[in-house]
Amino acid sequence: MTEKYDVIVVGAGPAGSMASLILARAGKKVLLLDKASFPRHKVCGDCLNPRIWALWKKYGLVDSFKTLPQTALEGLRIEHDQETLLRRNFESLKESYISIDREIFDAWLVQEAIKSGVVFIHETRVQTVHFSGKVETSVGDFQGDWILGADGRNSVVSRNAGLMAPLQNCRRVGWQAHLELENLDSDLHLRFFSEGYSGLSRIHDQKANLWMVLDSKVSGIPQKIANRYFPHLPALVWHSITPVNRRPSALGKGKIWLIGDAARVVEPFTGEGVYFALLSAELAVKSILNVKRAEEVAGALLNYQRDHELLCHSQIRPGFILRWLLRSPERAYRWIPLIRYFPGPVSRIINRLIGI
């Protein structure tokens, strides 16, 4: 007979690992599944919003996190082609804005979940989930009481459970490459150009992360754009991801719920995605742990929906004008230079995004 788990978590990104860790520490029997072979690469800007420190403190993860190779960012520059429009110094931040390789970060959080008692199986692709709690995978079937879909922006769980909103026509593709750059400062460089925008930051030593969000019409040429600003850059290995934006999914049905990007995708520019994934995981688990009887499931889902809405309201709304601009590369390229004339409001938006 198949072994039964209290919760099966699909996807071992930040949302899935965090949810598993909290559930296991609360005494639940948790199975965490991922299709990738860990540690695995992840298309990301590799920057962690300073608000994550509050979570590390809450779950006793500060010392362990600090052992990982990382860079404390010293500032944020908004650039338009070769010109710097604005620099925000991070000196006054109480907690550091961290740049860290997602391959290292995600593998670390999985290890912390395992230390907390989670059973983790990688190289296991989830194919179908059922409301009975059955999970069909590439290596066999598993049985859970709850299923948490933390399988990212193209979530199989969301599609299977009928939670995914119809696809929006997304005209943008996300690109990312790691590179060696001598003499790179410790600022996060957010650059606008006619085809889209990019982020560049040191992750550790001379290793840096360069990512871009490009209009899909020009998406074959991230290297050409990179060479425009760094003429001596060798050919890089580029990874891509799509869609960049999509409509939010319904958060759950019965005992199948969604967290992280599977529930709602956050605009890459604001650097909130990982924090948002961690927090949505915590909110979902809090509601699940309150359920003592079957009749309480629907109420728990309502609570999660309310908390999630509040999270989106507080985290996502402050930058809505920015997001409106970013959805169209031409629009952003034309209007972004105006921020020179509004340093006050722009600084306030940045403050809200980084939680100060």
Judged by the rule CB under 6 A, the positions of this chain that interact with ligand FAD are: 10-16, 33-36, 42-47, 125-126, 150-152, 156, 174, 176, 211, 213, 241, 244, 260-262, 266, 268, 271-275, 277
Task: Give the residue with the Cβ less far from ligand FAD, 56 or 344.
Answer: 56
Say how far apart CA 191 and CA 76 lie, in whole Å: 11
Burial 317-342 (b: 16+ CB within 10 A, else e): ebbeebbebbeebeebbeebeebeee
In which residue are the tokens 């692709």 written? 125
The minimum distance between CB 292 and ligand FAD, in angstroms, equals: 28
Cβ–Cβ < 8 Å for 301, 252: yes
The minimum distance between CB 161 and ligand FAD, in angstroms, equals: 13
In which residue are the tokens 């593709």 written? 173
Task: Give the residue with the Cβ less far from ligand FAD, 76 or 339.
Answer: 76
Rg from Cα positions in the chain: 20
Task: Give the residue with the Cβ less far from ligand FAD, 277 or 300.
Answer: 277
The minimum distance between CB 296 and ligand FAD, in angstroms, equals: 26
Task: Give the residue with the Cβ less far from ligand FAD, 197 or 333.
Answer: 197
Give backbone dihedrals phi and psi of 16, rounded to 5 degrees, phi first: -65, -45
Task: Give the residue with the Cβ less far from ligand FAD, 118 or 274.
Answer: 274
Task: Give the residue with the Cβ less far from ligand FAD, 190 or 336.
Answer: 190
Give backbone dihedrals phi and psi of 166, rounded to 5 degrees, phi first: -55, 145
- 84 HSE (CA, 13 A, CB side): 9
Q: How many residues does the chain have?
A: 356
The minimum distance between CB 126 and ligand FAD, in angstroms, equals: 4
Show the tokens assigned to 168: 């929006």
The minimum distance between CB 175 and ligand FAD, in angstroms, equals: 7
Q: Taking each helix axis from N to C terminus, what angle separates 273-289 and 297-315, rounded to the nearest 10 degrees?
A: 160
Choose among 220, 219, 218, 215: nearest CA to 171: 215
The minimum distance between CB 98 and ligand FAD, in angstroms, equals: 10
Burial class (CB in 10 A: 0-12, 13-18, 19+), 293: exposed
The minimum distance between CB 188 and ligand FAD, in angstroms, equals: 8
For CA atoms 275, 278, 282, 283, the dihedral sign is positive
The minimum distance between CB 205 and ligand FAD, in angstroms, equals: 19
Task: Give the residue with the Cβ less far from ligand FAD, 35 or 255.
Answer: 35
Task: Give the residue with the Cβ less far from ligand FAD, 6 or 136.
Answer: 136
